[in-house]
Structures are given as C-alpha cells and as structure tokens.
Structure 1
C-alpha cells in the first residue's frame, strides 16, 4: 500500500497518509480547527529495486550497460575444446551360473 501526500488548501498543512489504492481520497483537513479541503499531491514515485531470492539489481540496468556486459562476457569466454572420442563401453560382467553347485562327498 502506498503513501499519499496531501496539502490543505486553506491552512497549508501538509501530511502523508498510508492508504490502499482503492480507498477514496481524503477531503477534509485533519488539523484541529481547520475546515479546509485537502488536495492529494502527485508524487514522482520511487525507483523500485527488488532484492532477495529471484530478483537481481542488475536486471534493471540500462540497455547500453547490458550491451557492454554482453560484449565483455563474450570476450572472456574460453574457446570450446575439441570434441573428445567417446568413452569405451565398460566390460560386461560374467553371467551368473544357473547350474547347482556340486558338493564333494
């Protein structure tokens, strides 16, 4: 929920209110003894940067910065190694014997 700035048109009292975007605008000055009407001021807003798991500060960089970063990362990558020969298959294990063992009598 955002903070909204208001100013009284009669007494000039400025104040800030934390209210939902769906709430109605305030109309009356909260200053005691003042019956003036208030006007909501337009704010310039704040640059939001989400930090934490899943958000990165670099996600909001300018296009020129992102292009430069791509060129730097491409230049620093090592060359691909030549394809190596496929590994030899492991030797098959001897099959277990199904004949019963003979006992010495």
Structure 2
C-alpha cells in the first residue's frame, strides 16, 4: 500500500498515512480538526547507476 504525505494549511501539521489507491484523500486535519489538509508531492528518488544509462555507454563508434 502506498504511503502519502499530508500537510495542514491551518496548523502546518505534517503526517503520513498508508492508503489504498481507491481510498479518498484525507481532508480533515487529525490535530486541529480543520478541513485544510492537502497532499504534499515530492520528486521520486531514482538514481541511475551502471552501464546503459548514458549515450556513450557501450555505443559503437562507426565513423
């Protein structure tokens, strides 16, 4: 199950929740009770290492 990061706009409370893809997003803050919660999106942490990820890796030089 994916883990989602949420932040309350009212009190700045940060929290994470494990939810199914079919679950509705959380909208009510568990700390202050206001309906000011939104998902926080971040870039995925992917790091490409090894052969085959660059144009010069394993390329034959036909001239």
Does TM-score exceed 0.5, indicating one fold? yes
Listed one character per residue, the Cα deviations across residues 22-44 of structure 1 (whole Å, up to 9, x for unaligned) are 2110010011xx12220111121
Q: Distance in 2 between matches of 1:11 and 1:38?
A: 10
| Total equivalences in the alignment | 59
What runs of 5+ residues in structure 1 fail to find an aligned partner? Answer: 50-56, 72-105
Q: Distance in 2 between matches of 1:10 and 1:48?
A: 35
SS of match in other structure, 1:67? coil
Matched residue, 2:53: 62
Whose Rg is larger? 1
Matched residue, 1:24: 24
Relative contact order (C-alpha < 8 Å, sep 6+): which is higher? 2
Q: Which structure dedicates a bigger proportion of its chain to strand? A: 2
TM-score for the superposition, normalised by structure 1:
0.45
Query: Where has structure 1 moved over 6 Å in runs of 4 or more?
Result: none
What runs of 5+ residues in structure 2 fail to find an aligned partner? Answer: none
